[in-house]
Structure 1
């Protein structure tokens, strides 16, 4: 924009030149004034689960020149492997897991008619449920009516992947599409299966040899197929951070390339047979950076193998994270799935799978699958998120975060390689220990309120949420001898769901609901902040509260408590009213028969006096909520 001069016309001087360039020191001075001298690092700087520093503001100097100068479709493919937008941007690959092949086929055709253009089929195998495919005929039934030249199918068969792959290859001749045109992803990942279940039906060496033999067979029968999958979601679902998920992906890729090369297959030809799966969770920016960093990591490994150009044809599928899904108030899972999908799109995933909002509860019905499908369709056809290549590229924050995630992942990859590679690191328990530590740190952040789960630890819904589903059939056990410690998946909400389950069991057993009387002092404006907080806090443990607009005195609160029939009370108000009335209220509540008196907020230097007056426990943010609520349930008689 330029400044206009009525006498001389339009000046060539930009308006910005009239302002002095701001310095970081000036900005910091203003920030210090705004935060009133508080510690800048503690107040405004955060860190990711990998310890990557996240600044409150990013400027040009935070950018990464080599990334900002990069062009989509060119190495190192951080900005995407394509130079032009493909169709609507990505493949909508929806998940099918019906047990009966004919029923699964009906669901597949419904998905394709409804807007999906790819299918991920869960196949029954030891350790997992899914479609029961026992022969090529079953596979033909499953895929009947599919245009595999237009809609790819991916198998997710875990420990049964070799058999499922053979059934699919054998079924190709019975389908209406020429095998040369069929787009199939067979999903063999013996290293990932070993990591997930701790055992394989054959030695890992034999499993790798079988995978390579199947890759040769598949390349001959269906040249557009990909046989081997590097599935990093296994590590994510067990608790891995973004960078460690990529480190495991990279280490697994290296192991497969070495196995192919030992069998006489070049890295370039091997990469044509390999697909990748990564997770997408509710941290949108982290998902974007992870996907962009994944392509850079894969290219670097491929380039070091002399096959850098082959990375231009890599295929990365993003799967919405199961670990972020919740059982309680599952409607909130639609928000989570939307964030997962958006992050995957903006990160440049080639195919995306969104979970039904009831995925954590059991089998999905038509409505739940339709909702999952429509999340993608809305983002694709109404929001047009796929119409721009690397839409987040050029953002100083995203470029910096991508660079840091890639560098951190590379360092972690080197640690795995220093142990002898991914297989040796799994055998030593190195990978499992690192992921367990990261999962523990994340669980602590949620329990102490530094990270919230909506509908679970924050704003939980008590009572019936209106959702019922058919339970999922139990998976058959893995009976082979355990070779490594398995990486069991878990959901973030599980500790709080256990509390809710205990409260429900108590209600069913006793006919009573665990309840706490809120002795809210003063007017609504005085106590609403703490009353609202404690209501949500207790609800996360399945404990309901009795509320009013507030009580003018300790005597009034005690009288109402006595009439309520409750045995536990919690004092709630402002610090000012606490100083004036808290001790008297605690004494009055005890006199009125309260067996347990709680108080919302930290006691400060009044702790001894408040305890002497009758306060048994203080509830405040920052403490471990799971531990605290477990103790409260015991005191309320919910659990023994």
Structure 2
């Protein structure tokens, strides 16, 4: 017998689930099993104290590989690298450019430019903002307070007239009229239809995701993970439906959408959240019959949550954001923003921004979380959480669809009521 064929534990009989349960009940000494060891989550399902191989037997996606439909195991075939994003608020284009160049030399690979207004954005001012930045080496994310699409079109024009290979440029514009509707309560009739010409004019940059779905709005309002995912997917489906009805094909539309999720402190559940989100979005896009499965890839930007941060001991926020960033990385986020520890009460300082950047660098350079594709694959616990989230999210998603879709459900007050009730439960 070779060493390879030798069974090291043949002297030990396998332990059945019944035997485990008997041992646990004996150790509990009469205490109620459900109250002592079963976690009743806010997500609508209970979590057991342990899981075994038999709990995964009904899951039909376990044999898929990373980079394959339905992308539960991630969009990449190899590795788990993500982009380190830092946001810059643009009041002066030259100053913002100087800061961008500085942080790009300190480990940042994705920049979010936040504009106070879009009226002064032109091809010339964008040239000042992006001067000396290699657009093929850093992701550019443009965030404007309005959803006109002018900024996105100017960026696409600027890129097309430049020296870069358009297919290598990764960017986003965060146009989200439904998100504006959530925050302001108004949605002009033509708000979504105005996105159609923007999609058509910006497709010269193939990896330019101009539409943003902002699930972080729900997370920062106190929603559960199930609510954040279900309502975000319903928003995404609204964009797919309305834009395809206007004549765009599903492959064009799906490849222009980027999801922005908040990441909370529920460590393993947040890992499972991103895996479940990719699987469900892939199934939704598939229902529209795209030509290529690649159109069903969900691109996710994760941002550490504001909901659970403290004003009174702000340095503790670093511990919270670190575990949140780990969840996002292990869950397979495309890019991650770690908010500085003082971001909820003052303008971040050089110190707090540097710490936020370095938190992600440590996860890559010292913990090697970027090296292994879908590192949580095969975990009985995380795989079960993923499946449980899929089931609960899908139920709530269908409820929203039965009410006429996200916009109709929001106008009826259903979305607000659900989140308000959940936030009250979480604050007890």
> Which category describes the TM-score, using the shorter chain as reference length?
over 0.9
For residues 96 and 411 of structure 1, what CA distance do their matches in structure 2 show?
Answer: 38
The answer to whether the Cα contact below 8 Å between 1:73 and 1:312 also exists between their aligned partners in 2 is no
**In structure 2, do the counterparts of structure 1 residues 216 and 40 end up closer, same or farther at CA, with 3 Å as the change threshold?**
same
The 5 Å alignment of 1:346-357 reads 346-357=330-341
Deviates further, 367-376 or 96-105:
96-105
Task: Establish whether residue 37 from structure 1 lines up as the match of residue 30 from structure 2.
Answer: yes
Q: Aligned match of 1:60 in 26, 42, 53?
A: 53
The 5 Å alignment of 1:173-184 reads 177=164, 181-184=168-171
The answer to whether the Cα contact below 8 Å between 2:86 and 2:112 also exists between their aligned partners in 1 is yes
Task: Establish whether residue 82 from structure 1 lines up as the match of residue 76 from structure 2.
Answer: yes
For residues 339 and 124 of structure 2, what CA distance do their matches in structure 1 show?
Answer: 28
SS of aligned partner of 2:203? helix
**In structure 2, do the counterparts of structure 1 residues 326 and 133 end up closer, same or farther at CA, with 3 Å as the change threshold?**
farther
Structure 1 position 257, deviation (Å): 0.9
Q: Aligned match of 2:251 in 260, 268, 282?
A: 268
Unaligned runs of 5+ in 2: none
For residues 267 and 426 of structure 1, what CA distance do their matches in structure 2 show?
Answer: 25
Task: Establish whether residue 70 from structure 1 lines up as the match of residue 64 from structure 2.
Answer: yes
Structure 1 position 19, deviation (Å): 2.2
**In structure 2, do the counterparts of structure 1 residues 398 and 180 end up closer, same or farther at CA, with 3 Å as the change threshold?**
closer
**In structure 2, do the counterparts of structure 1 residues 254 and 396 end up closer, same or farther at CA, with 3 Å as the change threshold?**
same
For residues 208 and 182 of structure 2, what CA distance do their matches in structure 1 show?
Answer: 25
SS of aligned partner of 1:66? coil
Aligned counterpart, 1:454: none
Aligned counterpart, 2:346: 362
SS of aligned partner of 1:96? strand
Q: Aligned match of 1:16 in 6, 9, 12?
A: 9
Once the two structures are superposed, what CA deviation does each residue of 1:123-161 show, in whole Å capped at 9, x if it has no partner?
A: 225xxxxx9954444333322221111111112224356
SS of aligned partner of 2:21? helix
The answer to whether the Cα contact below 8 Å between 2:88 and 2:100 also exists between their aligned partners in 1 is yes
Over the aligned positions, Cα root-mean-square deviation in angstroms equals 2.3
Aligned counterpart, 2:208: 225
The 5 Å alignment of 1:434-583 reads 434-444=418-428
**In structure 2, do the counterparts of structure 1 residues 403 and 431 end up closer, same or farther at CA, with 3 Å as the change threshold?**
same
Aligned counterpart, 1:187: 174
Structure 1 position 174, deviation (Å): 7.3
Structure 1 position 180, deviation (Å): 5.8
Task: Establish whether residue 429 from structure 1 lines up as the match of residue 413 from structure 2.
Answer: yes
The 5 Å alignment of 1:239-318 reads 239-307=222-290, 309-311=293-295, 313-318=297-302
The answer to whether the Cα contact below 8 Å between 1:100 and 1:132 also exists between their aligned partners in 2 is no
**In structure 2, do the counterparts of structure 1 residues 144 and 42 end up closer, same or farther at CA, with 3 Å as the change threshold?**
same
SS of aligned partner of 2:312? coil
Structure 1 position 421, deviation (Å): 0.2
Once the two structures are superposed, what CA deviation does each residue of 1:313-339 show, in whole Å capped at 9, x if it has no partner?
A: 432111111212222211111111111
Structure 1 position 414, deviation (Å): 0.2
Deviates further, 184-193 or 136-145:
136-145
Structure 1 position 172, deviation (Å): 3.9
Once the two structures are superposed, what CA deviation does each residue of 1:69-88 show, in whole Å capped at 9, x if it has no partner?
A: 221121111111221226xx
The answer to whether the Cα contact below 8 Å between 1:99 and 1:132 also exists between their aligned partners in 2 is no
For residues 392 and 311 of structure 2, what CA distance do their matches in structure 1 show?
Answer: 33
**In structure 2, do the counterparts of structure 1 residues 31 and 268 end up closer, same or farther at CA, with 3 Å as the change threshold?**
same
For residues 400 and 59 of structure 2, what CA distance do their matches in structure 1 show?
Answer: 29
For residues 191 and 11 of structure 1, what CA distance do their matches in structure 2 show?
Answer: 58
The answer to whether the Cα contact below 8 Å between 1:123 and 1:133 also exists between their aligned partners in 2 is no
For residues 264 and 32 of structure 1, what CA distance do their matches in structure 2 show?
Answer: 61
For residues 32 and 311 of structure 2, what CA distance do their matches in structure 1 show?
Answer: 39
Q: Aligned match of 2:323 in 339, 345, 350?
A: 339
For residues 159 and 326 of structure 1, what CA distance do their matches in structure 2 show?
Answer: 31
Which of structures 1 and 2 has the larger relative contact order (alpha carbons within 8 angstroms, sep 6+)?
2
The 5 Å alignment of 1:354-393 reads 354-393=338-377
Normalization by structure 1: what TM-score? 0.63
SS of aligned partner of 1:122? strand
Structure 1 position 197, deviation (Å): 2.3
For residues 34 and 12 of structure 1, what CA distance do their matches in structure 2 show?
Answer: 37
Structure 1 position 173, deviation (Å): 6.2
**In structure 2, do the counterparts of structure 1 residues 133 and 367 end up closer, same or farther at CA, with 3 Å as the change threshold?**
farther
**In structure 2, do the counterparts of structure 1 residues 345 and 10 end up closer, same or farther at CA, with 3 Å as the change threshold?**
closer
Once the two structures are superposed, what CA deviation does each residue of 1:513-543 show, in whole Å capped at 9, x if it has no partner?
A: xxxxxxxxxxxxxxxxxxxxxxxxxxxxxxx
Aligned counterpart, 2:151: 164
For residues 286 and 42 of structure 2, what CA distance do their matches in structure 1 show?
Answer: 29
Aligned counterpart, 1:120: 112
Structure 1 position 370, deviation (Å): 1.0
Deviates further, 386-395 or 144-153:
144-153
Aligned positions, number? 426
Aligned counterpart, 1:213: 197
The answer to whether the Cα contact below 8 Å between 1:124 and 1:160 also exists between their aligned partners in 2 is no
SS of aligned partner of 1:68? coil
For residues 169 and 75 of structure 1, what CA distance do their matches in structure 2 show?
Answer: 30
The answer to whether the Cα contact below 8 Å between 1:215 and 1:226 also exists between their aligned partners in 2 is no
**In structure 2, do the counterparts of structure 1 residues 76 and 223 end up closer, same or farther at CA, with 3 Å as the change threshold?**
closer
Q: Aligned match of 1:108 in 100, 108, 113?
A: 100
Larger Rg: 1
**In structure 2, do the counterparts of structure 1 residues 11 and 406 end up closer, same or farther at CA, with 3 Å as the change threshold?**
closer
SS of aligned partner of 1:20? coil
Q: Aligned match of 1:146 in 126, 130, 133?
A: 133
